[in-house]
Structures are given as structure tokens and as C-alpha cells.
A and B are shown apart, each in its own frame.
Chain A
Amino acid sequence: MERNHLILAVVAVVALLIAPHLLYSVFLMKVLCFALFACAFNLLLGYGGLLSFGHAAYFGSASYVTAHTMKVWGFTPELGIIAGMLAAALLGLVFGWLAIRRAGIYFAMVTLAFAQMVYFYALQAPFTGGEDGIQAVPRGELFGFIDLRDDISLYYFVLALFLIGFFVLYRTVYSPFGQVLKAIRENEPRAISLGYRTNHFKLATFVLSATFSGMAGAATVLVFQLASLTYVEWQMSGEVVLMTLLGGMGTVLGPVVGAALVVTLQTYLAPFGAWVTIILGVIFVICVLLFRRGIVGEALARFAFLKNDKAQLQRSDVAEATVTKEAAHDPVKPL
């Protein structure tokens, strides 16, 4: 497994290094930012089994903090991004600490409500610029000497950020921590009886997920030089859920594939206005009704069937079972 992953990783990195010379680099950067966002989200949903419906809060608040510190306080890009990530982490710590008290659908509703609170704050607070957002954020010079105004150099910086984030999330999933996380998702009471403080694990995962969602939000600010209400709105939270679901939750590459597809779709359908919403909704419905494993999960399942590879089979089973287990202490009796 490790060797396959390594080969795939080398091929992917080479492709990503060449890509900006073949495709429009701003589009590619947008894909990378959203892919990172979806990967961070997938850590929580796919491996932790926790559906957050308010991840826009972390993405958006990081984007505001990065934009503000870079534009008003003159931070360099790397400091701005760190500031944004810290803000997202802090917000994730507070909201996560409150939200993990409930499981399942209540968790989803609580996170959605908190995200809406952040939205109203962003709408009213003086430093966010209300409806206009923070515009014309300077891209600045990385470490004080690499000029990011050039799209190609910015692309490589965003790519580096994506790879760092992706690697950290990947390592987390395949670490002992990640294994415990999966155990909690599959059977929380049993994990507790084995002596794990499951709430600590859930909170740590929540904060990690929020932090890298923040990284994605901060990187988006550099690309578009803008932080606006779009980034904290509920639609954003919904989109990241869709990207993960479409690509395959609980798979490492699923969110990347999902993000690439959704961003492409939005780019080409942008002139049709509200039709985008309808099409995203239709994809949502089709995913839930017909292929819950997502594209990558489905592909892995086929692959496992052909090769009869047990490890692969198990992994795709996990993808299917991702959210089928819910904490047993939910107060409502199952049907």
C-alpha cells in the first residue's frame, strides 16, 4: 500500500508542477485551495464520522484575518497565513468544545448555527467591510524577497501549502491517532471502554480540521486578493460537504477529485446564475441516493473486486460505512 501511494504521489506532484504551463494558473490555484479545504473537512467527516455543516466559519474567518493582517498591518504572506490559521484553530477550539457535546444530526445543526453566528459577525463587524468584504489585499513578498504578484510563483507557493496540508492530514489518518479516530467512529462506547478519552480525540480532530480549513481560506485570499462574505456563508459549508461526498468520504484522494469537479462545474456554469445551485442540489441528491461511496470510493471498490485485494476491499467498506454509525447515546430511539 505504502509503495503504491508513493508512486501515485510522485506522479501527482510532477503533474502539478507542470500544470500551470498547460492550464490557467488561477483556476488551478482555486482547485488546490478547495481541495485542501475538502481534505481538512474529510478528516472530520470521513475519519471522525462527524458531519460539520459549518466549516465555512473556519475557512472564512481565516480569510478575513489573513486579509486584515496583510492589508492593514502589513504582514508578509507567510505571517498572514499563520495568523489566519491561528484564528481558525482558536475558533475551532471554542466551537468544537461546545459542539462535541452532541453527536450525529445535532452536531450538524450546532455547527451550522455557530457558522451562521460567524456570518452575522462578519456582516456587522467594522473590520470586515460588511457587504464589500476586504478588497485589494496585496499579495506581498514571501519571506520578504519572493514576489507573489506573478501568478506562476504564487501557484508554486499555493501548491507548497496544499502539499504541506495534504501531507499532514495524510499522516494523521495513517498514524496511531488516526486509527483511534476510526475506532471511535465505528464504536464509541467500545473505544471509551478501552480507555480512550474519546472527547479529547474528537476535539483534537475538530481543531486540526478547522486549522487546515483556515489554511485553505488564507491561501484563497492570496489568490483572489479578496476576503468576502461568500467565504463565510452557508453555501460554502454546503459546497465542501458536496465535494467530499462526490469524491468519496473517508478516502484520501476523494476530496481532491470532488473539489476539482465542483470548482470546474462552477467555473463553466457561472453565467447561468441560479442554475448552479440547482445542479449542485441534483448532484447532492444523486450522490446520496445512488453512490454513497463517491467517485474514488466506487473506483476503489471496483479495483478491489478485480484484484481481490483484501486491504482495498476493507478500505472501501469503510468508505461506505463512514457515517452509518452514530453515537449510541443519542437521546432519540432508532426507528
Chain B
Amino acid sequence: MIFDLLGVPPQALLGQLLLGLINGSFYALLSLGLALIFGMLNIINFAHGALYMMGAFVSWMLLTYLGIPFWPSLILAPLIVALFGMALERTMLSKLYHLDHLYGLLLTFGLALIIEGAFRTMYGVSGRVYPIPEILRGGTNLGFMFLPNYRAFVVVVALFVCLGVWFFIERTRIGSYLRAGTENPELLQAFGINVPRMITLTYGLGVGLAALTGVLAAPIYQVHPLMGFHMIIVVFAVVVIGGLGSMLGAIVTGLLLGVVEGFTRVFYPEASATVVFIIMAIVLLLRPQGLFGKR
């Protein structure tokens, strides 16, 4: 058996691999949203992590205060957070498009502090548990490993959503407007498309993806006001590695790095938190524009 050669029990290896795949699909969803927003708004959304956290919190609040279960909140929570994001875009971000990208980064950093601070004043720093929905509890025995149902479900949904968004952008008519807007917004406006509204909706879509990731993450990790911040830094590294140029690039890089992180956790646990950053350093050395970036 190959596992005997590696000296690691198969259950541990496959378990970490699955966790890596889950993290990877979260990275994929988040960096996809970042890439979308960056393409249209030319802004790096520092608040992405905070909005991911908000997605998790909103679904927890829906359950706790209104008794709305997981399934409706899988749609509702991202919608609420997306509306919130679009309000932010209309009132603040839209004032910065004529300035350098860095101001967008600084503004969204400030927004991230406000959002995270607000949840911390309301809920403190202790984590909250979100129960796994009834149908997805337990697991399936595959013979060589025990597969928790919810985790399998998360990976499938995340991949499905990623591919759906990719298809929407690359293969549909509205998607083609979006790509045109990324290339040349003035020309697109001249063709009678309402570009400002499209920018708002794109921001909403990116934010909605972040919130959806948060809802999916809630039953796996604890719902915690600071859960977004570490996530966003890793996702930034993922984005530097992959480059913001391509949707598919963002998805593939995200998944790949999650798996690499999972493997590292088995073979050299001390480095599992930093392996993504080390890969980023290597990529900067060998291919500074990123794996999928264009020079």
C-alpha cells in the first residue's frame, strides 16, 4: 500500500485532504469574488473577509432569532449581505473610481474594521456553533475512509457555484457585457448599457459569493467575528499566486492551494499556516505576474 510507504495512516491523510479540498473551495469562491470585483471596479475588496464573516453571522442570526433553517438561509443570507454590499458600493466606493486603486483598498480596510468591530461589540470574541442541517449529519463509509456528508456537500456546492459563475461570465449574454465592461467601460456605455448599475450588481455578486462561503463555512468552523481576517490574508496570497486576470485561474489556484495546505498539515504541521505564503514567495521569484497573470 502506498500509505505504508508514506508512513501516514490513510484515514488521517484522506481526512486532511478533504479538509484541504474544503478550504480550497472556500479560497476558490472568495478569490473568484475578488477577481470579479477587481475586474469591474478596479478595487481590491479588503472587506471581503469581513463580508464572509457577515454571511456566516447572518445565517446564524436567522436561525437563532427567526428560526429560519439552513436551506432558506443558504439563499437569504447571501442576498442580505449582497444588498448591504451594494449599499456600500453606491454610497462610498463609487466615489473613488477616478482615484488610484490604493484608495479603494484603504476604504475597504476601514469598512472591514467597522464591520468586524460591530460584530465584536455585539457578540464578543467567543465562537458560536451552527448545527449541521439534519439531512447532512453523519457520514458515509467508503471502505478506505469515513466521509462526513456535510463536508462532501460543501465541496460539491462550492465547485458547482464556481463553475456556474464561470459559465455565466464566459458563456452568457450578460456575462459578455461584464467582460466588455472590464475591457472598456466607456465604449460599453456608448452602446447603451447602464455601466454604473452593472458595477453595483457585480459588487453585489462578488459580495454574495463571499457571504455564501460564510454560510457554508458556519457549520464547519465556529461563527466568530474574526473568522474573516485570517481568511482574507490567505486569499490575498492566493490571488497573488494565481493573478487576478482569469476566473478559471482563480478557481484552480484556490483549490490547489487548499489541497497543498492539507498535505502540509499531514507531513509537516508546523508549516501548514505558512505554506501558502512560502509558495507565494517562490511564485514571486519565478513568475512575478502570477501563474495565470498576463504580463
Do the two chains bind? yes
* The one of B103, B278, B289 that contacts A331, using a Cβ cutoff of 8 Å: B289
Q: In whole angstroms, how far apart are the Cα atoms of A117 and B229 in the complex?
A: 14
B177 interface residue, CB < 8 Å from A?
A: no
Q: Do A106 and B240 touch across chains, with their CB atoms under 8 A apart? A: yes
Q: Do B102 and A105 touch across chains, with their CB atoms under 8 A apart? A: yes
- Across-interface contacts of A53 in B (CB, < 8 A): 105, 109
Give the interface residue-count category, chain A: 35 or more
Query: Given the known A-B contacts A98-B284, A102-B284, A110-B284, are A234 and B229 also in contact in the complex, defined by CB atoms under 8 Å?
Result: yes
Q: Do B101 and A285 touch across chains, with their CB atoms under 8 A apart? A: no
Q: In whole angstroms, how far apart are the Cα atoms of A183 and B285 in the complex?
A: 26
* Residue on B nearest A276 in the bound complex, by CB: B117
* The one of A280, A323, A333 that contacts B113, using a Cβ cutoff of 8 Å: A280
Q: Do B183 and A333 touch across chains, with their CB atoms under 8 A apart? A: yes
Q: Do B273 and A281 touch across chains, with their CB atoms under 8 A apart? A: no
Q: Do A281 and B112 touch across chains, with their CB atoms under 8 A apart? A: yes
Tell which of B91-99, B142-150, B214-222 binds the partner: B91-99
Q: In whole angstroms, how far apart are the Cα atoms of A282 and B102 in the complex?
A: 17
A114 interface residue, CB < 8 Å from B?
A: yes
Q: In whole angstroms, how far apart are the Cα atoms of A277 and B121 in the complex?
A: 10
Query: Given the known A-B contacts A116-B277, A121-B274, A277-B113, are A285 and B100 also in contact in the complex, defined by CB atoms under 8 Å?
Result: no
B177-217 CB mask vs A (1 if < 8 Å, else 0) is: 00000110100000000000000000000000000000000
Give the interface residue-count category, chain B: 35 or more
* The one of B96, B97, B118, B278 that contacts A288, using a Cβ cutoff of 8 Å: B96
B229-241 CB mask vs A (1 if < 8 Å, else 0) is: 1100110110110
Q: Do B106 and A116 touch across chains, with their CB atoms under 8 A apart? A: no
Interface centre among A98, A112, A274, A329 (most CB of B within 10 A): A274
Q: Is the interface of B mostly helix, strand, loop or mixed?
A: helix
Q: Do A109 and B100 touch across chains, with their CB atoms under 8 A apart? A: no
Q: Do B116 and A285 touch across chains, with their CB atoms under 8 A apart? A: no
Q: Do B97 and A335 touch across chains, with their CB atoms under 8 A apart? A: yes
* Residue on B nearest A245 in the bound complex, by CB: B106
B267-295 CB mask vs A (1 if < 8 Å, else 0) is: 00010011011101100110011000111
B137 interface residue, CB < 8 Å from A?
A: no
B258 interface residue, CB < 8 Å from A?
A: no
CB of A202 to closest CB in B, whole Å? 14
Q: In whole angstroms, how far apart are the Cα atoms of A249 and B117 in the complex?
A: 26
Interface centre among B38, B280, B294 (most CB of A within 10 A): B280
Those of B18-74 within 8 Å (CB) of chain A: 38-42, 44
Given contacts A105-B44, A273-B120, 7 further A-B contacts (CB under 8 A): A102-B240, A106-B240, A116-B234, A241-B106, A281-B115, A333-B183, A335-B41
A positions within 8 Å CB-CB of B: 51, 53, 98-99, 101-102, 104-106, 108-110, 112-114, 116-117, 120-121, 124, 234, 238, 241, 245, 273-278, 280-285, 287-289, 292, 323-326, 329, 331-335
Chosen A-B contacts, 16 in total, with CB atoms closer than 8 Å, are: A51-B106, A101-B285, A102-B240, A105-B101, A105-B102, A109-B44, A113-B237, A113-B276, A278-B113, A281-B112, A287-B110, A292-B99, A323-B100, A326-B102, A331-B245, A331-B294
